[in-house]
Amino acid sequence: MSKPEPARYRTTSWPAYNDALRPRGSLLIWMDKEMAWHAPHEGRPGRPPVFLNAAILFCLSIKVLFTLPLRQAAGMVSRLLRLAGLDRPV
């Protein structure tokens, strides 16, 4: 039994094709400027946590979403925070 011939698709309108591809590359990230980034001091013995769980989950979500190593994800989150006008450590 022979393989079927693969289908060939031809683009007839390149401007329409390019316009359809443009929104596929857009990304929208909602950031709450009021969100606390640092963890409050709990008053218990031992080293206190530095960041809130929400901040850590945000960084790890960016890491998984873009399949980045941890250092690159930290750099990307740092840049996103700067673009949003937030001065917070990562």
In a domain, 27, yes or no: no
Angle at CA 45, nearest 5°, toward 42 and 51? 45
Residue 66 maps to a domain? yes
Helices 53-65, 70-83: inter-axial angle, 10-degree rounding? 110
pLDDT at residue 90, rounded to an integer = 85
User: Has residue 40 been placed in a domain?
Assistant: no
Whole-angstrom Cα distance, residue 81 to residue 90? 9
Residue 30 lies in a domain: no
Residue with tokens 């039994």: 1
List, for residues 73-88, the tens digit of each pLDDT value: 999 999 998 888 888 8
14, part of any domain: no
Q: How far apart are CA 53 and CA 1, in angstroms?
A: 58
For the cut 80, the answer to whether the pLDDT of residue 23 exceeds it is no
Q: Is 25 a domain residue?
A: no
pLDDT of residue 14 exceeding 90, the answer is no
**Residue 68 forms part of a structural domain:** yes
Domain span including residue 87: 60-90
pLDDT value, residue 86: 86
Most confident of 27-31, 45-49, 51-55: 51-55
What's the pLDDT at 72? 94
Average pLDDT value for the chain: 86
How many domains, the chain?
Answer: 1
